[in-house]
Amino acid sequence: MSMQFNRLLSIILKIGLGAILFVPLVISDSMFFPFITSKNFAFRILVEILFTLWIVLALRDRSYIPKRSLILLFVAAAVGALFLGTVFGVEPSKSFWSNFERMEGLLGHLHLLAYFLILVSVNKTERDWKTFFSASIVASLLVGAYAVMQLLCSATLDGCVVNGQKMFEIHQGGTRIDSTLGNATYLAVYLLFHVFLSIYYFFKNPERGWKIYYGAVFLFESYLIYETATRGAILGYIGGLIIFALLLGFLSKEEYKKKFAWGLIGLIFVLGAGFFLIRNTEFVQRNTTLARLRNISLEDDTTKARFYIWQMSLESFKERPIFGWGPENFPSVFSKYFDARLWKQEPWFDRAHNAVFDWLVAGGIIGLAAYLGIFASAVWLLIKKFRESKISNLELSVFVSLLAGYFFQNLFVFDQLTSYILILSVLGYIHFLTAEKTTESPRRAFSMQVTQAGAGAAVLLLIAGLYFFNFKPLWANVSLLSALDTANKGNFIQAQNEYRQAIALSPLGRREAREQYSHFSTIIASREDTPENIRTSTLEDALRESELQAKESPLDARSHLFLGTVYNAAGRRAQALQSFERALAASPKKQQIIFLVAQFYVDDKKYDRAIELASNAVDSDPTYTDAVSNLITLAIFAEKDDVVKSRIEQLLSEKRVSAGNIRSWASMYASLKKYKQSADLYKKAIELDPKDIQSRVSLAATYYEMGRSDLAIEEIKKAIAINPDFKTQGEGFIQELRTGKKP
């Protein structure tokens, strides 16, 4: 009876592990960040239940305790490093809980470690692993089928519409498929794993039918990787295939494998050479994937941005080299070490977009060593076991190349749940292939007292975990999305209650709920139809929560910006400025914050300080034309005419300014009744664009204000000569000017 119960537990665990492989298909539109949170909550709930069952099984049968290996050691060490990073980092709560957008943090990694322990303990035979990976391939085909529907629907004029609603839309817009993962990059790395698994089982299965099946999977998912247009994954895919072919070609003794390997290398070479020859054709330029590959360059804005962020990561490492900043604390690094040249990119980054640097920032040198140790140990063990003839050249070739391709693409992106699940699954299989086989018969079970106590403790932990780590955060997530929807419908009282609920329920997502609540409060404050009691209570609530967030995240400029915005909406201008100054102290090179503070100084007539700040912003990266424009605007109202003149001359010499820009600055001078400066700028605008009628008319109006109607009439005549359609209106202006009226 005892053995039967153990077998039943084992079967349930294997079914549960298989169910986890279908988590990538989970989406819930009723949740905030539906592609991320729905999958993560499903994964965590499954893992917590399975982990409890595994503890019970391991207590009843010690053979279900995982065998020791370097891979297991480094996987556990990586999570241990993140634990230390959380404890000694800059914001432990955030490091532990993460947020709804990522749902990672130490809590996420603890669940991943639990998944890995279950996986390597329960899958004990080659048959177990084949069944497991077969289920994963089936799941990938379903994900791929959704992607195909996206391609088909995007190719139609109006998309696929059912009951007035579009179906199978590409969620990020454009033509890059993202399937049920909601992100083309996530989909690409997900498919990358299954491409190599299909190669592995193609060679491992002698039956013709299975070879056709796995060959079709390989071609199908290779095509889908191409349609994601994800450059890092595509290059990782190509590089991985080359490494696989080289290893197989040199190491295999079977002639058909050698022919396949060298044929694959030849095919890749021919395709690469063909692409090089046609790289400048219209066909390539009009194709999303080929155009993105063609445009790979060290001078590309996206590539340069990656380098800037990596440099920032290295600088932050010098400050906290041992334990790092803690998981999820890259925003503090981004604030403090912001590179002014990043103005072209999105305003906020929460990842280094490079797994190596992400681990370096999150866990310091300990975290990075553990992360790299995972890959190094896996490759070393594969080579060692191959030399000992305990694994074949196929295992070595496939899994070394898969690890290489995955690691390469991770140099340009970051991991997320689906990639974590798959890399841990592959590492689990390598652990199985390379772990020392033992013939010892360990004592089958712990004592009855230990087993009962352990099982009871595991069940209690399960209940607590489901409640605190899943139910409450999930409720908070749904409440937040409901608050956003309720607010859009104009039911402000209910929305306020739902925001409060989302904030109070769980630390997970609390920051996002506070930010959304802050934004909601500023909208309420700006609406004239908002009842005063709702306006006041909402602002007071939002201020309290924003103050708490700024206190919890003192190094993150974003938290101070939100607080300052709410203060400003509440009419508490002095406190708003103080918050914005704290944001500037947290991120002294971020132009967005610099100009925000500078505008406050101008309004307070602290002109010298405003111009000093704005000049620093411009000088930090002179190529930021909008920053120069902002400086000129501030200088006009600060009455720093010398600054205006020198900066405009600089833009003119570099040909980085339009007639429209200069005309707008001229109108600012005119609004200040500084007509001479206004006229000078209108003349410069006309020099840039002699056919610009608007500049001439505006110059005429300025001349009139200066008491020079004669010059005004002359400009109107020039405008008529340039554009005869303006004749009737222009002659009317001239008539008014001659009678002393302002046109």
What pLDDT is attached to residue 443? Answer: 52
Q: Encoding tokens for residue 259?
A: 């022919």
The DSSP code sequence of 564-617 is: HHHHHHTT-HHHHHHHHHHHHHHSTT-HHHHHHHHHHHHHTT-HHHHHHHHHHH
Is residue 583 within 8 Å of 566, Cβ to Cβ? no
User: Cα(410)–Cα(609) distance, rounded to whole angstroms?
Assistant: 44
pLDDT band at 439 (very low <50, low <70, confident <90, very high): low
Is residue 190 within 8 Å of 143, Cβ to Cβ? yes
What pLDDT is attached to residue 696? Answer: 86
Q: What is the average pLDDT across 291-309? A: 88
Q: Encoding tokens for residue 656?
A: 């980085």
What pLDDT is attached to residue 743? Answer: 61
What pLDDT is attached to residue 386? Answer: 96
For residue 676, pLDDT over 70 is answered with: yes
DSSP state of 467: I
Angle between helices 417-434 and 393-409 (to 10 degrees): 150
Q: What is the pLDDT of residues 487-500, one digit of tens each?
A: 999 899 999 999 99
Q: Encoding tokens for residue 56?
A: 């019970």
For residue 712, pLDDT over 80 is answered with: no
C-alpha dist (Å) from residue 587 to 162, 251, 307, 575, 581: 48, 54, 19, 18, 10
Q: Coil, strand or helix: which one is 161?
A: strand
Q: Which residue has the higher pLDDT, 161 or 520?
A: 520
Sign of CA dihedral 609, 611, 614, 619: negative
Q: Could you tell me which residues are beta bridge partners of residue 162? A: 165
Q: How many residues does the chain have?
A: 743
Q: Encoding tokens for residue 599?
A: 């505008």
pLDDT band at 702 (very low <50, low <70, confident <90, very high): confident
Q: What is the CA radius of gyration of the chain?
A: 32
Q: What is the pLDDT of residues 376-422, one digit of tens each?
A: 999 999 999 999 999 999 999 999 999 999 999 999 999 999 999 99
Q: What is the pLDDT of residues 79-115, one digit of tens each?
A: 999 999 999 999 999 999 999 999 999 999 999 999 9
Q: What is the pLDDT of residues 349-364, one digit of tens each?
A: 999 999 999 999 999 9
Q: Could you tell me which residues are beta bridge partners of residue 165? A: 162
Is residue 159 within 8 Å of 153, Cβ to Cβ? yes
Q: Which residue has the higher pLDDT, 123 or 296?
A: 123
The pTM for the full model equals 0.93
What pLDDT is attached to residue 438? Answer: 64
Place of tokens 């069952």: 53
C-alpha dist (Å) from residue 100 to 31, 41, 398, 458, 476: 10, 10, 35, 27, 10
Q: Provide the CA 672 distance to its chain's centre, in angstroms.
A: 45
